[in-house]
Amino acid sequence: VHGEEAVLVAVQRALAGRPDALAGARALSHFGEHSLGWLGVAALGALLWPRRRRAWVTAGVGAFLAHAAAVLIKRVVRRERPHHPAIAVNVATPSRLSFPSAHATSTTAATLLLARATGLPLPALLVPPMALSRLVLGVHYPTDVLTGVAVGAAVAKAVSTVADRREGAR
């Protein structure tokens, strides 16, 4: 086992056997599937904090656009998910394509934009566990996850720039 596959094997050996690690990683996987968890959080925030509704809606839009960007990139790059015998795949996936991680992409965008809405350090608290969970589950290479974080950050920046311009035009 070499390169990124060796990293995946090492991560799985170090973490997958810990109590509740797989359950936690699977829960994050289900939450992040198609960015639906982030869309739900954004909708709930928009309902509960009407004075900050625009910021919450912006976060939902950013999460959705980040997921869409990841899916588009996956279809262009067409990198298959890890399939080495030493790598345990611990969750079902909607496709065989892995680059970039849509979970890392939408989580990064959502948490950066939700941090604007809440003032909380959400990216530092939530991006690392989501990114690591993709490796623990054996469904992404490390570069899939790192690229997802980068794409998510770029989408969040673009969405926040547009939102700020629209707010300034009002």
Q: What is the DSSP letter of 80?
A: B
- The single-letter code of the amino acid at 51 is R
Chain segment 12-48, per-residue pLDDT in tens: 999 988 889 999 999 999 999 999 999 999 999 999 9
- Token pair of 145 as six digits: 């996850």
Q: How far is residue 79 CA from its own chain's centroid?
A: 18
pLDDT in tens, the chain (170 residues): 899 999 999 999 999 888 899 999 999 999 999 999 999 999 999 999 999 999 999 999 999 999 999 999 999 999 999 999 999 998 989 899 999 999 999 999 999 999 999 999 999 999 999 999 999 999 999 999 999 999 999 999 999 999 999 888 87
Q: Which residues contact 46 (CB under 8 A, 6 or more apart)?
A: 53, 56, 57, 60
Reported residue count of the chain is 170
**Residue 69 to residues 97, 105, 156, Cα–Cα distance (Å):** 14, 8, 12
